[in-house]
Every structure is written in structure tokens, then in C-alpha cells.
Chain A
Amino acid sequence: MARSNEPAVWSLFAAGGALTALVLPIHVLLFVFLVPFGVLAGDPDALLAFLRHPLFRLYAFVLCCLGLVHAAHRLRFTLVDLGLHGLAVPIAWICYLGAVLGTVVALYAVIVL
């Protein structure tokens, strides 16, 4: 048997999983609960300036992109393992196309917003 080239894809999947698990809950806590509900009061203009900084835009894009790759890969194999073996090919297409679409939306968002 020959060594697989799967590591190229898997490292993206693993990076997405690690990044999502580590930092996404922090963002949800900050921007879905603490900031909107006024628990963390601060200067809104300063926050907006921070969020619009090119480095934060790049970071947000990488986070979305890798998170989507992870989700697509995980969902694909979970569905197949749950018994949808016959639909393995369409499931793979739908999952990865979803991730690509999400990445395009994320790219649009970080450039325009």
C-alpha cells in the first residue's frame, strides 16, 4: 500500500476543528451575548475600527473558511456512517459545495462590511 495524500486535506480539517473549538465560543460569548446585552460596555466606534482592521478581517475569514471545511468534512462522514452509504458521492458534493459557498459569503462579508 502507498501513503495517502489525505494529510493535505486532513490538516485543514484538523486546523478548522481546533480553531473552531478554541476561539469560536469566545466570539459567540462576546458578540452574541456580552456586547449586545450591554454587559461589556465600551466605545462602539473603537470596537468597529478594531473589527475593520485588515488583520482582523483576515483572521475572521480564515476562521470561517477553516470552520466550514471542518463542518463539511465531519457532516459528510457522519451522514455516511449513519447508513447513507449509497448517497456518499452526492453527500460529499453537497457538503463541500456548502463549504465553498459559505467561504464565498465570508469573503464578501470581510471585504464589504
Chain B
Amino acid sequence: MAEETIVLRVQRYRPEQDSDPYFQDYEVPYRKDWVVLDALNWIKEYKDGTLSFRWSCRMGVCGSCGMMVNGRPRLTCNTFLREFYPNPITVEPLVNFDIERDLVICMDTFLEKLKKVKPWIIRREVKSPEEGPYNQTPAQLYRYKQFSMCINCMLCYAACPVVGMHPEFLGPAALALGVRYLLDSRDQGWNERMEEVGSHEGVWGCTFVGECSEVCPKHVDPAAAIQQGKVLATLDWFKRWLMPWGQK
């Protein structure tokens, strides 16, 4: 019996030789338990060693292998070929990013945005190790835990129409992380973080389309984080107007 195959239409772009991206078709063996990343690795191994793409863990943890699969942002390591078989599968780099090469996007803008929300615990009073850890109750942990599960795969940036139209918008993952630290009882960096999260480029850029939460492979629900951020920023704004003397 002839081996079953499936066609992958892969977007190629090698800046040193291509003026524009184009599509190249590869026929790969069809296996029920193969994911799109397995097919890409098979192409790299047996058909075309020049194909470039990012990947690492193969188990939906590292967030490296995000690509557009048939027009939707997906982690290629948990997108099975059987979902599309026998139809061809189109694989493109994540939209809303510059392309570095083939399926590899340039993530500099994302990393800059991530840094802006200061995704670390800021303390005014630092405890010495002898004084012990910063304890938290389960209820305090529960407030932000879901928003801390982000793996920085950037699928939400490819899904968000606002990111596409306004490149300066901080975007779903960075804002979810900013809100995550605003909600953390151990954090004391409210004011400096709110300068970014509560800015026009921060939560107020969001028009609540909600696609970020639809595509998130870790169910972080960035759209919910941003709406909570809007409530926090609004309460903060009214507090600053009503009690200007109350600022730390």
C-alpha cells in the first residue's frame, strides 16, 4: 500500500536571496500521531535542510514553535496533522511581527514591551534571608496565578487586531503580566508599573476583541487580565483625583 501523505504549504523567506516571501509545497508522510512540528522537522531532516523555524520542548511548555497554521496562530507542537488531513496545511510565520527568516519572526519589539511592564517583584522594603520569605495566603495567590502561566509564545500578539494596527500597543501577554504583578500582594511597585499599564499604550489600547484569550494555549485569558487592569487603573485614577495627598 502506498504511504499516505499530506502537503505542507510553507512560507519561505531568506533575506539574502529572496526579495519577497513565497510559498513552497512539501509532501510529507501522514501519521495520525504527528503534529505540524513533526512534519516540519521531517522536512528539515529529509527534504530541505535550508528551512528555518524555532522549536524546543515539543510539549507546549517553551512557547517557541508558534506559527500561523491555516491562518490561525497555533503552537505547532500541539496541532495535529489529523485535524486537517487530507487537506493541505498552510504554515506561515506569526503575523504582526517582522520576519527574520522563513518561519522565524523577530521578537525584539515583544521583548521591549515585556520589559516595560517590569515583570518582576518590586520591593521598597527588602527582607533579609534571615527574616524569611514573603508569605502569601492561597487567596492572595489565586488572584494572579492564572495570569502567571504565560509562556511568551506570542500567539496572542498574532491574534490581536489592535497590535496589527497600533504597533506601540503593549499587547496582551505583556499587559497580562503587568496586571499579574499589580495583583501580587508581595509587590510594592504599583505606581511605577501603573505608569505603563495605565497608559494609552497600555490597557487603554485594548478594545476587548478577546481573540488573545481564544488562541492562548495555556488558558491565561489575557483579555480578562486587561479588563481587570482597566478597573484597577480607573480606581487608581479616581483615587488620585479625589485624594491627591494620598500618593506614596
Binding site for B on A (CB under 8 A): 1-8, 10-11, 14, 77-78, 80-81, 85
Contact = CB atoms under 8 A, between A and B. Distances in A.
A85 B195 contact: no
Contacts of A1: 116, 195-196, 199-202
Counting chain B residues whose Cβ lies within 8 A of the other chain, the interface size class is 20 to 34
A36 to B, nearest CB: 35
Contacts of B207: 77-78, 80-81
B186 interface: no
Contacts of B234: 7, 10-11, 14
A7 B233 contact: yes
A32 to B, nearest CB: 29
Task: List the 7 closest pairs (A to B, CB-CB), nearest first.
Answer: A7-B237, A1-B199, A77-B207, A7-B234, A6-B204, A4-B200, A3-B198
B150 interface: no
Nearest to A9: B204
B237 A81 contact: no
B161 interface: yes
Q: Which of A4, A7, A10, A77 has the most CB of B within 10 A?
A: A7
A85 B165 contact: yes
Given A3-B194, A81-B161, A81-B162, A8 B199 contact: no
Interface of B: 116, 161-162, 165, 194-196, 198-202, 204, 207-209, 230-231, 233-234, 236-238
A8 B198 CA distance: 13
A11 B235 CA distance: 9
Contacts of B209: 81
A8 B200 CA distance: 13
Contact of B199 (A3, A10, A14, A81): A3
Contacts of B165: 80, 85
Nearest to A13: B230
B161 A4 contact: no
Nearest to B211: A81
Nearest to A73: B207
Contacts of B202: 1, 4
Nearest to B165: A85
A6 B200 contact: yes
A1 B195 CA distance: 6
A28 to B, nearest CB: 24
Contacts of B200: 1, 4, 6
B217 to A, nearest CB: 23
A7 B165 CA distance: 22
Contacts of A81: 161-162, 207, 209
B198 A4 contact: yes
B233 A3 contact: yes
A78 B209 CA distance: 8
15 contacts: A1-B199, A1-B201, A3-B195, A3-B198, A3-B236, A4-B200, A4-B233, A6-B204, A6-B233, A7-B236, A10-B204, A10-B230, A77-B208, A78-B207, A81-B161
Contacts of A2: 195, 199
Nearest to B235: A7
A8 B237 contact: yes
A16 to B, nearest CB: 14
Contacts of B231: 14
Given A1-B201, A7-B234, A77-B208, 11 more contacts: A1-B199, A1-B200, A4-B233, A6-B200, A6-B233, A7-B233, A8-B237, A10-B230, A81-B161, A81-B162, A85-B165
